[in-house]
Chain A
Amino acid sequence: MTPTFSILASLLPYLRRYRRPLLLGLAILVVNVVVFTSIPYILKLAIDALSTTITPHRLLGFAGLLLLAVLLRGVLQYFQRLILINVSRKIEYDLRNDILERLEQLSLSFFQRTRTGDIMARATNDLNAVRNMVGPGLMYSAYALVLFLSVLAILFRIDAQLTLLVFLPAPFVSLAVQWFGKRIHERFERIQSMFSSLATRVEENLAGLRVIRAYAREEREIASFDELNRDYVRRNLRLVLLSGAFDPMLQLLLGLAFVLVLWFGGRAVLAHRISLGSFVAFNAYMMQMSFPMVAMGWVINLVQRGSASLARIQELLDEVPAIADTPDTDPSLTTVVGEIEFRGLSFAYLPGQPILADINLRIPAGATVALVGPTGSGKTTLATLIPRLCEAPPGTVLIDGRPIRDFPLAALRHHIGLVPQETFLFSDTLQANIAFGRPDAGADAVTEAADIAGLSSDVADFPEGFQTRVGERGLTLSGGQKQRTALARAVLRNPSILILDDALASVDTVTEERILQRLLENRERDRRRPDILQPRRTTLLISHRVSTIRNADLIVVLDRGQIAEQGTHAELIGRGGLYAELYEKQLLEEELQRVD
């Protein structure tokens, strides 16, 4: 039980935020229950009067009282539900916001080791289970507890002996709920996992369809699915054996209470120990009690599931942001000129599997440097270290001669334009996607950025221009269009450091050359504008294409995480190493593309 409590304690900050409505809601709940339990008592008084002497006037009085009680209860119940359930929805709202806030602080490495589906499951199913625990779970358990206690108190006052007798089945009800609840839960879990293996089976079958058809294996697939299908049915029926008996069993045990009232209560009436009205009231109270008895099992289940889910959410919220500002951050560093230096940089995502080893490289501000090398040589990793998406060891990456960690994270990123390898656009308008890093940018700026990125003529073809929606619900852009949009997005920020990570691979070479030309022009125009702080932009090009990089000031060839060679295009061709070989292959490739 202790771990459950410590997990539940993590809800306290959220509950505390709504302390007043929670306490008010619970207070209303108590009054509500008291009014509720007065109803059978009014009935008792009326029946007692009817079985002795009564005037029509008094009878009307009882009926009126009954009505008054239920109207009051109606109002109370309305507020009780409104307040308590709304609090649970607000806590859900807060938790959901907090989850996103935490996710926004976590580094790339977290998202690399955690599956999206897993994060989504926590933010959806688990959150829902916690909501159920805080909402209906809390409300009904409080309700059941207060109701149980007040009914017990009233019945004891009417007749203690009879109360003890009719509550005889109560422990059995609770035992039955526990016994069945546990077993049903176990069988249900097993069925859930079978259900997902059924789904996995179908999924695997459909994903491997070609192999199955090629090997004419359909019949055997059907047979093996059939086996699983049969097993699923068998297990379900095993569950029904229990769950099908559970509800009738509760009905039976609760019915037994009514029999006891009739039996012992009837005798008590005959012995004039209790009145007829008390007899009727006992029946009515039993009716009221049946709900909390049944609900307890359900509530226990809600709390069990809710606390397991809460633990999973808490695990996410407890994740420490690996990359964040520290007390050592120098808040005065708000601009970036553009010099980048790697000093003895080694990097590994997992210990023992180095991605980069002893990289030493200084890129002067304003230079255009190209990174080339085979897949897996560490180019992209190197690029992600500059905007601190991943964290390099201290002192190994320097910007403008200062350790990168001295810069406030937001300021550093503000001056870096990254166009990643896998283009990621959001389901929004083209305008919003381009202005992603500068939401305040005017239409002119967006148009200019799109123009530089070579996107203008495409946009002109879209019926809605920059207001065209892209992504899931909108237009599907081609790979090249997506990449150029991502480029425009980076260009619009006018960054001091621009990183193109294989960012134009889906754009044909002629267009690419034109775009690079424009980027260069743009850079030179900046130089003529004294109001721009940085005279030239540092550009880092990662590419497989020689045509992209041949004009770079410096070409760095990476191989297995190390710098294999560096120099200008001419120098490297002269050396006849990896780069020269790459160049030769690409010339052939271009030749082949011209065949039609």
Chain B
Amino acid sequence: MSSAQQDEEVLGKAYDGRLMRRLLHYVKPYKWQVAFATLTALLHSFTQVVGPYLNQVAIDRYLFPSRAGGANSLLGRHLAPDATHGITQIGVIYIAMLLLGFVLDFAQTYSMQWVGQQSMYQLRRELFHHLQRLQLSFFDHNPVGRLVTRVTNDVEALNEMIANALVAFFDDSFVLVLIIVIMVRFNWKLSLITLAMLPLIAVATALFRRAVRDSYRRIRVALARINSFLQEHVSGMSVVQVFNREQRAYEEFQAINRVHLDAWSDAIFAHAVYYPVIEILATLAVALILWYGGLKVMHGTLSLGIVVATIQYAQRFFRPIQDLGEKYNTLQSAMASSERIFKLLDTPITLQSPAQPHSLPVGLGRIEFDHVWFAYRDQDWILKDVSFTVAAGSTCAIVGHTGAGKTTLISLLLRFYDVQRGRIMIDGVDIRTLELTELRRRFGVVLQDPYLFTGTIASNIRLSDPALPDVDVARAAEEVNLADFVDRLPERYDTPLRERGTSLSTGQKQLVSFARALAANPPFLILDEATSSVDTETELHIRDALHKLTTGRTGIIIAHRLSTIQRADVILVMHKGVVRERGSHQQLLQQRGIYWKLYRLQYKDQELSLESAPQPAM
């Protein structure tokens, strides 16, 4: 079990005032609905306890008439003197109460579910909104899976609490109180018998909870071990097989599986003891009521109807208590979830637009890195004192080995991260003084991983502007040589893309992301070329598309392709976070330095294969 898993499994206290207040803040806008639900719960509890009372009236008034104490109730006096008629009246009252109960119960459930859904809608919205604002460095440390859990499962646990526990808690409590009140009013001495069971049940429940808490903890740990063992061995099955470890792995698995089984058998034992104990206590109450009440009936001081009704109440008394125990569990996991959710919501946004953003002058397009230092962590410098200028309308290619800091340059220019020292300027304006979206909107960006979204080809091209007319989408696709391919698809631009466009080849995905960058018609172009190999035909398409993309724009391109590099106005050679060489292709080749070596290493094959390929018709 990893620490992350442990984090997910921690169950803290069931009630935390601070968290609860924050949670209720989301329910507050619906306070009238909650009040309504509480009222219906109160009324509903009346309908729930009416049955035994009606029985008492029927027995004492008609079935076994008695003059003993308490037999003459308020209701009894209003009923018909004729027995058959009276029973019918009671029946009608009962049905009416049942129907009322049905309506009230539904109203309560629905309104609280409604409140739960509305407030969780709001919470999910806030979470998602916050995730869209958080700086990228946050995501470097927080795995996507865990964040998804916050927005989905954790919120669902809170919903469970609001919808099913909050008001239902009152419902159960009301029922308990009402039963006690009615029993006391019937005969307070008789009611004491049932109430005397309460401390016993409380003790039994506490002991039971302690016992199962321990076994449940062991079960959780064992299950986590089983799952990670299984996960690991499924992934590494060929290693297990090659090293003849099947038997041993099986035995190990059997052992942790056995721990799980044993933990469960303890939990089963606890359940097997607890439920009968509760039932014995309940029936003990019934037996005592029968005996003590029976004696009173024999003495004529108590009516038979009251004895019967008290027995029936005693039988109904213990269900709400057990329900309340279940609500406790719901509350506990809701508290754990809300703690995690609020921790995420409380993560400060450290990178955002300035309060009074500058605006960019239109028309130019000069990019300047001015003594930029950057590290993802502490003093682990990825960029060391990097300075360069890309003149308006020119193309700058960046080359270098993996890990030289090329992609970082792009992340900084788009202000995914802030520089630690130095500054980045566009037309002389520090990018930190600009509005974030204003800054990013000026760039057409093609990232290394040509990330496609679920949707259609068209919706992926019009990423920057969903209102982009079809003609512009088609023109962008045309420009980057994607149109031929799209035209061969039966649904053309409406071809659905699923799971990040797995149905397309790498080269096709790249062309789509080119079209996407071009469709925005941005003044700046940023391009992080993918290194993956594509077939010759696509390679030619890409080469041609690149040319069109860079014309008339200021561009920074992390280049792997010869055609890109040779066309660049200036080439920067990055090596271990430093700009080591700069100049044109020819100048750099003459230096016989890093560029020359890189060039020979990486571009030789490409050149060969391209030259032997047929030229495309343009």
Contacts and interface: CB of A to CB of B under 8 A. Distances in A.
B290 A43 contact: yes
B365 to A, nearest CB: 17
B576 A596 contact: yes
A244 B601 contact: no
A557 to B, nearest CB: 16
Interface string B124-165: 110011011100100100001101100110001000000000
Contacts of B148: 199, 202-203, 206
Interface string B291-324: 1001101100000100110011001000000000
A591 interface: yes
B261 A90 contact: yes
Interface string A559-596: 00000000000000000000000000100110110011
Given A89-B268, A206-B147, A211 B447 contact: yes
Contacts of A103: 233-234, 237
Interface in A189-235: 195, 198-200, 202-218, 220-222, 225-226, 229-230, 232-233
Interface stretch (B21-29, B201-209, B248-256, B546-554): B248-256
B117 to A, nearest CB: 5
A389 to B, nearest CB: 5
B241 interface: yes
Q: For the complex, would chain A's binding face be called helix, strand, loop or mixed by DSSP majority?
A: helix
- Residue in A64, A410, A426 with the greatest tally of chain B CB atoms within 10 Å: A426
- Residue in A77, A90, A259, A424 with the greatest tally of chain B CB atoms within 10 Å: A259
B479 interface: no
B257 interface: yes
Contacts of A256: 95, 98
Contact of A50 (B102, B288, B298): B298
Q: For the complex, would chain B's binding face be called helix, strand, loop or mixed by DSSP majority?
A: helix
B589 interface: no
Given A202-B128, A588-B600, A424 B236 contact: yes
A120 B234 contact: yes
Contacts of B601: 585, 588-589, 592
B257 to A, nearest CB: 5
Interface string A90-105: 1011001100110111
B483 interface: no
A210 B447 contact: yes
A209 B136 contact: yes
Given A237-B113, A266-B62, A216 B437 contact: yes
Interface in A509-566: none
A222 B133 CA distance: 11
B183 interface: no
A50 B294 contact: yes
Nearest to A101: B250
B117 A237 contact: yes
Interface in B270-294: 271-273, 275-277, 279-280, 283-284, 286-288, 290-291, 294
Contacts of A204: 453-454, 500
A-side interface size class: 35 or more
B295 A262 contact: no
A472 interface: yes
A436 B414 contact: no
B264 interface: yes
B87 interface: yes
A394 interface: no
Interface string A42-66: 0100110011001010011011101
B101 A74 contact: no
B51 interface: yes
B440 A214 contact: yes
B2 interface: yes
Contacts of A252: 98-99, 101-102
Nearest to A69: B283
B60 to A, nearest CB: 11
Contact of B268 (A85, A276, A473): A85
A172 interface: no
Given A103-B233, A214-B445, A244 B63 contact: no
Contact of A262 (B55, B248, B254, B466): B55
Contacts of B280: 70-71, 74
B100 to A, nearest CB: 10
A59 B87 contact: no
A60 B292 CA distance: 9
B244 A81 contact: no
A596 B441 CA distance: 38
Contact of B230 (A100, A211, A410, A427): A100
A190 to B, nearest CB: 15
12 contacts: A47-B304, A79-B272, A199-B148, A199-B152, A204-B454, A210-B416, A222-B128, A222-B129, A244-B109, A248-B103, A259-B91, A262-B91
What are the 9 tightest A-B residue pairs by CB atom distance, in nearest-first order?
Answer: A74-B276, A437-B243, A70-B283, A63-B291, A248-B105, A244-B109, A216-B437, A266-B87, A424-B236
Given A105-B246, A259-B95, 4 more contacts: A214-B445, A241-B110, A387-B242, A592-B594
